Amino acid sequence: MSTQHFPHSTTAMARLDSVSLAYPKGPQVLRDLTWQLLPGQVVGLLGRNGSGKTTLLEALLGLRDPQAGRIELFGCPAAQLSDEARARIGYVPQSSDLFETFTPTQLLAYFRSFYPRWNESKVEGLMSRWDIPRDQPIRKLSGGQQQRLSIIRALAHEPDLLVLDEPVSSLDPVGRRDFLRELVDQVLDRGTTVVFSTHILSDLERVAFNLAFMSGGQIALQAPLDELLEQVQHLTGTSSELSSLMQRLGVTPLKRTPLEGGQERVLVKLPQPSALPDRVQASALNLEDLFEALT
């Protein structure tokens, strides 16, 4: 298998190399997907419903076997991870109906027994701040409380790699803000690598995350949010003018849309804010436009 896509391969926390995955009798979800998470990166994974975000995160964690390609965590094959390596991962699945008869206190005591590292004061602080009843069966907690508990469980052992699948979907705006603040603290304090999927775009604008857009079974584009907002633009002009411009700048279009009168609109990520010919019109995109154009 080629490793040429990964000049920093030894330092990646997670890497997927030409991964293809289809469900039995189901759709092809990942298509020759190549991706990596570098230490300390915080990546928001964006994609439409059904685009394969959950499948990608499960495959990254070694929970699903791809038909082709290679997946590594901390430099080891994801499917054969040691217990020590597993203990470096925190995972919040999209929904988990396990442990419904446990109380939060029992659940946390149970998980504490597995991990060599466990930050009890962080757990206590979050349990109080997020107002989670400690001694009621988990099934009686609200969806938002269950989701917060799941996040606390994943943060408690201070993972080096935190994987969260739609962690904020049941949280109200205040809960989402608290969660993001916690995420940022975690990253600043410990250099945790974080990937989380979401479809709630407004929250992402609070932090300069890397955003990865998933579409067509691949990561179509990944870049820091401020860079995306500055450099991804719609250019409108004649096809020949746009082609020579893109060639001169060395960019490939992310999307092309033919317009009337021999005109065309292309979506490109410019190398930096570039000087453009007068006859080419450029317009920037906000995050919602980006999501629509790239997914």
Please report, as ranges, the residues that interact with ligand ADP according to CB under 6 A: 23, 26-27, 29, 47, 49-55
Least distance in angstroms from the C-beta of 213 to ligand ADP: 12
Q: Using N-to-C axis directions, what is the helix angle for 143-156 and 104-112, rounded to 10°?
A: 20
In the complex with ligand ADP, the residue whose CB is nearer, 27 or 125, is 27
Which residue type sits at 87? A
Least distance in angstroms from the C-beta of 278 to ligand ADP: 41
DSSP 78: G
Least distance in angstroms from the C-beta of 201 to ligand ADP: 15
In the complex with ligand ADP, the residue whose CB is nearer, 50 or 271, is 50
Alpha-carbon span 291 to 201, nearest angstrom: 8
In the complex with ligand ADP, the residue whose CB is nearer, 19 or 132, is 19
Least distance in angstroms from the C-beta of 79 to ligand ADP: 18
In the complex with ligand ADP, the residue whose CB is nearer, 197 or 231, is 197
Least distance in angstroms from the C-beta of 164 to ligand ADP: 12
In the complex with ligand ADP, the residue whose CB is nearer, 39 or 50, is 50
Q: DSSP for 155-215, please give it.
A: HHT--SEEEEESTTTT--HHHHHHHHHHHHHHHHHH--EEEEEES-HHHHTTTT-EEEEEE
Strands, DSSP E only, in the chain? Answer: 14-22, 28-37, 42-46, 68-73, 76-77, 89-92, 161-165, 193-198, 210-215, 218-224, 232-238, 255-258, 263-269, 281-284
Contact 138, 106 (CB under 8 A): no
Residue 145 φ then ψ, to 5°: -65, -40
Least distance in angstroms from the C-beta of 58 to ligand ADP: 8
In the complex with ligand ADP, the residue whose CB is nearer, 82 or 95, is 95
